Amino acid sequence: MKRIAIIGPVFLMIISAAAVGCGFQLLLIPEKLLSSGVSGVAMVIGYLSGWNIGWLYFALNVPILLWGYRILGKRFIVLSMVTVVSTAFFLQVIPEIKLTDDRLLASVFGGVLVGLGTTVSLRYGGSSGGFDIIASIISRYRDLPIGILTVLLNTFVVAALGFLKDDWNAALYSMLSIYLTGKIIDAVHTPHHKVTAFIVTNHTQELASRLLKIPRGVTIIKTRGAFTSEERDMLMTVTTRYELAHLRKMIKEVDAKAFVNVVQTIDVIGDFRRK
């Protein structure tokens, strides 16, 4: 059963990598535009040096994935590894074809395609590596505005392209592409890095013990149904969007009939366990 359970997510990671690879090879790279995160760093180096961008993307992600493996969940990192390796593979096999001579169209549709691919990997328990892994690690240790930090990192990469290549049109179109990628992720996945899950279940102790192993703090609240007057327990826990897929899977394994309400959390004040 465990093998079957992992086949589906692995397949989806490969599909997401194919979408990202197409966005790179057919739209962004032919126009010398950038994507967000580590892939953008790989593109800048590739444009300046002529080195293979796919292998640069893979090489830059390896130390980040190894760092994440020590801190984050095994499943999350393994699925992220599948995505990174698959993306590097597709960057070798998909030919670089210039679909359009219009940089605006390339930046818009390239950003959307990369955003859709990244969303699939996040939605089903993985990531596209790079800044996603770094953001997940930082969110465990510090209550920092990860979204702003990611924007600043991407801005630095894009500015480097503008200065080093002296092509500010490419830099500005790249910012548009990165913005659209982020908007797609926010619209389909979740715009907030922290979420709160309210779980009504009859398997309180088993589910609470599983949550504490992540580890995440759990608050147990006594509830009573208005229609049935039946008393049940509700578990409240705050987690990150990078762990949301793992949380869904865990709840389904323990109590497939549990009622779960996941809401966006703007800020957490007080004792929020990040490790």
Is the model more confident about 241 or about 53?
Answer: 53
pLDDT at 262: 84
Is the model more confident about 266 or about 200?
Answer: 200
pLDDT at 270: 59
Look up residue 242 and give its DSSP letter: G
Give the whole-angstrom CA distance, residue 237 versus residue 116.
28
The boundaries of every CATH 3.30.70.120 domain in the chain are 194-264
Is the model more confident about 231 or about 20?
Answer: 20
Give the whole-angstrom CA distance, residue 152 versus residue 113.
22
- Can you state the angle between helices 37-49 and 146-165, rounded to 10 degrees? 10
Judge whether residue 103 has pLDDT over 50.
yes
pLDDT at 57: 94
Judge whether residue 187 has pLDDT over 80.
no
pLDDT at 267: 63
Going through the chain in order, the beta strands assigned E by DSSP cover: 194-201, 219-224, 231-240, 259-265
Give the number of other CB atoms < 10 A from CB of residue 226: 7
pLDDT at 131: 75
Mean pLDDT, to the nearest integer, of 156-171? 85
Judge whether residue 83 has pLDDT over 60.
yes
What mean pLDDT is reported for the chain? Answer: 82
> What is the DSSP track for 153-171?
HHHHHHHHHHHHH--HHHH
Please work out, in degrees rounded to the nearest 5, the angle formed at the alpha carbon of residue 241 by the alpha carbons of 239 and 245. 95
| Residue 275: band (very low, low, confident or very high) from pLDDT cuts 50, 70, 90 | very low
Mean pLDDT, to the nearest integer, of 41-46? 92
| Topology classification of domain 194-264 | Alpha-Beta Plaits (3.30.70)
**The model's pTM:** 0.71
Mean pLDDT, to the nearest integer, of 267-271? 60
Is the model more confident about 271 or about 188?
Answer: 188
Give the whole-angstrom CA distance, residue 90 versus residue 123.
21
Q: Which residues pair with 233 in a beta bridge?
A: 201, 222
Q: Which residues pair with 234 in a beta bridge?
A: 200, 221
Of 79-88, 134-143, 213-222, highest mean pLDDT:
79-88
Closest CA to 264 of 199, 164, 193: 193
pLDDT at 148: 61
